[in-house]
Structure 1
Amino acid sequence: MTTTEQRNDPTGAATDDILAIAREQVLERGVGLDRDQVLRVLQLPEDRLTELLALAHDVRMRWCGPEVEVEGIISLKTGGCPEDCHFCSQSGLFSSPVRSAWIDIPSLVEAAKQTAKTGATEFCIVAAVRGPDKRLLSQVAAGIEAIRNEVDIQIACSLGMLTQEQVDELAAMGVHRYNHNLETARSHFPNVVTTHTWEERWGTLRMVRDAGMEVCCGGILGMGETLEQRAEFASDLASLDPDEVPLNFLNPRPGTPFGDLDVLPASEALAAVAAFRLALPRTILRFAGGREITLGDLGAQQGILGGINAVIVGNYLTTLGRPAENDLDLLADLSMPIKALNDTI
């Protein structure tokens, strides 16, 4: 039997083609691919990318539906971070140009208003810190209260590593979702960050889940990881079972240790998107930073038709994104409805 015949065996007999396996296991039964299976997907030749993306889209439509969740983010405290995440221009340890700054509460509320006008259901308050101190938590609490008084939107936070007491405080504030990225595979993490461990991040995520907040956890692709480590990362995330996985692609920042790395090829990035969808069939899979330079406009469309079901609109923390109108127009052209706020509660 030829390879083509194996993929299209009319008898339905077992085949070792990974996409045939994924079609039965993930599309039909809703069981995500394991680590070894994800690696086989990532190793597929480029001439099967269209077939892979189509399957990932079918999985997304079957297990998540056509709706797309839209989110905006803003940095409450920018720069001056004591950690050495090698991709990040907000580290105070590198010569990158981002300097420490705080945003005031009225500006925070205005940003939430503008985000809500796009149809977004989620607004994420982010701070460049190892973890929040009392001043930061007080500012977050005041910001959440002010936003709630004027804007109908879910509020998420990303404030670094937490103690149990801080987790409980954020839950009491009504934080809907907490973002804390694992960033990369456990085996690759020491090559990306040395000032804290992968296990410390994992501990925060478990406490967040136990406190009843939704868990948002993803990472950045293109930081020198191997395909094996990319598959490991997808498996790590699947074992965590997060509500949302933001997929970023490295946008090399001047002055950081990763500033000279090459941008991930578009075909490789799209294959990773599809592979992560096949590992996480029911998860919100969100396009995040770096997609503009990695994929461009056509790639963004391919990703949304290849497993993605959420986007961050507007700018990111230290890099420019696409104008929100471009993403909203694209969703309209693809007949992808924006998820309504009452569907997120």
Structure 2
Amino acid sequence: MTQAPDILAIARDQVLERGEALNQEQVLEVLRLGDDRLEDLLGLAHDVRMKWCGPEVEVEGIISLKTGGCPEDCHFCSQSGLFESPVRAAWLDIPSLVEAAKQTAKTGATEFCIVAAVRGPDEKLLAQVAAGIEAIRNEVDIQIACSLGMLTQEQVDQLAAMGVHRYNHNLETAESHFPNVVTTHTWEERWDTLRMVREAGMEVCCGGILGMGETLEQRAEFAANLAALEPDEVPLNFLNPRPGTPFGDLEVLPASEALKAVAAFRLALPRTMLRFAGGREITLGDLGAKQGILGGINAVIVGNYLTTLGRPAESDLDLLVDLEMPIKALNATL
């Protein structure tokens, strides 16, 4: 009986040599690999990243302009106003926003993302964002991204006119799993926002959270969903269960499973910026940062996240120096 070709051998020829992404079924095969294959898998994913993306790492900082009190019921999020979770509504003033941008730029980051916990922006929020962007531009040389929820076409056009470089709106999970994660809006509504953002000429940043009760099949489906979208950047988060949320009692994703997912997503998205985001500290620990960056990751969020603490920015920056991974220069993001 002829033995089926090994998926890593297939991936080496298909992705590394020819630059052709793995499809959904192939990604699932990768996710099902045993832990004894993890080192080989991470090595291949790193080779793919180096060949098709290069050694540079993009560094980004994020800040919440409007925190908490969100009307949506995303089951992982402590900023929902519908759950008995500790985050309460608060607004950040413009001077604090500018100071956060300055501190982010000092780390060497080239991207600063303004985030708000809302279904979508109202006139007040968009005015605050516009004022914040103008104030930052007057004092800081950094690209500005936004993550403000679902948008109308008029709002997309307004943000593009403000000079927003990149817009983040995560699909969060596979289309088939989404109703188990959010019930107050649909996966298709998120997709429509992303389509309008791309058509307006802004870069598309879209990823999600792994470890929200999805199956391996749905994890592979999610990778395929993202590949179909063709985003410029994919932030990979890992669930950090928040007290008071519907997902507060879920188990943290095992480190080996998380690293397999990182590598599998790289093989499904060989030319895409793949960013380490929230939850990596609790899921992978300090060692995982190195394993991920040597396993397909080529971008990181430094410092804290929106409602959880991250690694000190210096730790990530020192690691990049140790690994001889240069930080992407600002002019390279234009």
TM-score range, shorter chain: over 0.9
Residue 167 of structure 1: aligned partner: 156
Alignment match, 2:71:
82
Count of residues in correspondence between the two structures:
334
TM-score (norm 1): 0.96
* TM-score, normalisation: structure 2: 0.99
1:10 counterpart residue number: none
Q: Does 1:232 align with 2:221?
A: yes
Match of 1:305 in 2: 294
1:2 offset after TM fit, Å? 9.5
Q: Aligned-pair distance for 1:234?
A: 0.1
Counterpart in the other structure of 2:322: 333
CA distance, structure 1, for counterparts of residue 244 and residue 25 of structure 2 = 36
Residues 95-142 of structure 1, C-alpha deviations (whole Å, 9 max, x = no match): 000000000000000000000000000000000000000000000000
Residue 61 (structure 2) aligned to one of 60, 63, 72: 72
Deviation beyond 6 Å, 4+ runs, structure 1 = none
| Secondary structure of the corresponding residue to residue 119 of structure 2 | coil
Alpha-carbon shift at residue 86 of structure 1 (Å): 0.1
Q: Aligned runs of 1:29-178 on 2, under 5 Å? A: 29-178=18-167
How far apart, CA to CA, are the structure 2 residues paired with 1:184 and 1:294?
18
Q: Tell me how far 1:16 sits from its aligned partner.
A: 1.4
2:134 alignment partner AA = E
What per-residue deviation string (whole Å, max 9, x for no partner) do you get for residues 22-61 of structure 1?
A: 0000001111100000000000111000000000000000
Q: 2: CA distance between counterparts of 1:299 and 1:167?
A: 36
Aligned residue in 2 for 1:8: none
How do residues 191-230 of structure 1 correspond to structure 2 at under 5 angstroms? 191-230=180-219
Structure 1 equivalent of residue 17 of structure 2: 28
Amino acid at match of 1:125: I
Matched, 1:287 2:302: no
Counterpart of 2:333 in structure 1 is 344
Secondary structure of the corresponding residue to residue 76 of structure 1: strand
Are 2:265 and 1:276 equivalent residues in the alignment? Answer: yes
Using the TM superposition, give the Cα deviation of residue 285 of structure 1 relative to its aligned residue in structure 2, in angstroms. Answer: 0.1
SS for the counterpart of 2:234 is strand
Amino acid at match of 1:120: A
The whole-number CA distance in structure 2 between the counterparts of 1:257 and 1:195 is 14
Question: Matched residue of 1:274: which SS?
Answer: helix
Q: Which runs of 5+ in 1 are unaligned?
A: 4-14
The reply on whether 1:186 has 2:175 as its aligned counterpart is: yes
Partners in 2 of 1:147 and 1:269 — Cα distance?
36
> Structure 1 counterpart of 2:109, which letter?
A
SS of alignment partner, residue 295 of structure 2: coil
What RMSD over aligned residues (CA atoms) do the two structures have, in Å?
0.9
